[in-house]
Amino acid sequence: MKRTLVASILFLVLLLSGGIWIWLARYVAPGVLRDVIIPAVGVFVAAVFVALLIVRVRLLLRDESNSNVDVIFGAVEFCLFVGTFAWMHTELGLQVANDPTAPVIHSFPESVYFTILNFTSLGAEDLVTTPDSRFLVAIESFVGYLLLATIAATIVTLIGRARPINGTAPSTTGSQQSATPASPEQTPDD
């Protein structure tokens, strides 16, 4: 219960800090202050995101989580990840690759496309960041790797809980580490 509360608080901090980050990108005038504040808040958002992922992984490993809550948290985290970074790219702008004379793009759908490509580490050959947002892409790639690993760990853990391994049935109490032997009807035929 305590760890779930910590995860919920981290989740709220992530929402608030992401909103502040977007607000700063929109309203702080270009200059040295903007060049310092936006990366600093970006690192804070990334740190909160990583802390939230660590809490979720610990909940999964200690068998203190609920599969429905894990799926909901994972889906919302993914949407927040894509939405926050896409909005930041919309505010800071994207450029067409190999065409410095093209206008800066401030389109949310293009930013979602760019964010998902960076999240999957494919990269976009047709769009590049503006000089202001290069650090943002580094943060996005780092947190994206961690989010992808957490999503994979969640899926593997949930599948492992649902299916017996080595002839044992999963525990029904959730907090006990022992497993009960499976009945012959539950053992798969080879």
Range of the domain at 87: 2-160
Residue 167 forms part of a structural domain: no
Residue 182 forms part of a structural domain: no
pLDDT, mean of residues 147-172: 70
Pick the closest to residue 14 from 49, 40, 41 (CA basis): 49
Q: Is the confidence at residue 167, as pLDDT, over 70? A: no
Banded model confidence at residue 67, pLDDT cuts 50, 70, 90: low
Banded model confidence at residue 185, pLDDT cuts 50, 70, 90: low
Residue 176 forms part of a structural domain: no
Residue 125 forms part of a structural domain: yes
**Whole-structure pTM value:** 0.65
Give the integer Cα–Cα distance in Å for 59 and 55: 6
Between the alpha carbon of residue 159 and those of residues 4, 47, 67, 156, the distances in Å are 21, 29, 10, 5
Residue 83 forms part of a structural domain: yes
Give the integer Cα–Cα distance in Å for 125 and 98: 9
Residue 190 forms part of a structural domain: no
Q: Identify which has the larger pLDDT, 58 or 164.
A: 58
How many domains are there within the chain? Answer: 1
Q: What is the pLDDT of residue 183?
A: 54
Residue 31 forms part of a structural domain: yes
Banded model confidence at residue 190, pLDDT cuts 50, 70, 90: very low
Residue 174 forms part of a structural domain: no
